[in-house]
Amino acid sequence: MIIITFGTFDLLHIGHIKILERAKSLGDKLIVGVSTDKFSIEKKNRKPVYSENERKKILESLKFVDEVFFEESFDKKREYIKKYKADIFVMGNDWNGKFDEFNDICKVKYFDRTPSISTTQLIEKISQV
């Protein structure tokens, strides 16, 4: 089984680790679409702290991540799912229902987010020190 997931994964934290670990446990190969800096700014109105190349390299070094590619836009998700022949599409439940349209080509699963942590919260916490 091939699993695919997407995200910015800036300032990698325990919530990211848990969803990636859980996604990999569903199959044999985990492929991650990491948002480019440009796409991330469009989504979050903020430039990521780590560059796209740094975020890609960090994800590639995780033992449960098999392959990482750059995600350039929401519109290309269907194309990426097909290109990487993904059987299962995983996202956190902040996206609940948003990607159900892909159920025609793969199984769409939403995992509960890890409570009380996000990149946004981390940035706020660090900037208060």
Q: Segment 19-48, which members bind ligand CTP (CB under 6 A)?
A: 19, 44
Cα→Cα distances 69→39, 66, 123, Å: 13, 11, 25
Q: Print burial letters for 52-64: b (CB count within 10 Å at least 16), e (below 16).
A: beebbebbeebee
| Total residues at interface with ligand CTP (CB under 6 A) | 16
Integer Cα distance of 7 and 112 in angstroms: 15
77 in contact with ligand CTP (CB under 6 A): no
Answer for which of 53, 73, 103, 120 binds ligand CTP (CB under 6 A) is 120
| Nearest-approach distance from CB 79 to ligand CTP, in angstroms | 19
117 in contact with ligand CTP (CB under 6 A): yes
Coil, strand or helix: which one is 92? strand
| Nearest-approach distance from CB 27 to ligand CTP, in angstroms | 17
> Candidates 59-67, 80-88, 96-104, 115-123 — which segment interacts with ligand CTP by CB under 6 A?
115-123
Coil, strand or helix: which one is 45? coil
16 in contact with ligand CTP (CB under 6 A): yes
- Which helix H or strand E contains 6, and what residues bound it? strand 2-7
Nearer to ligand CTP, 83 or 125 (CB): 125
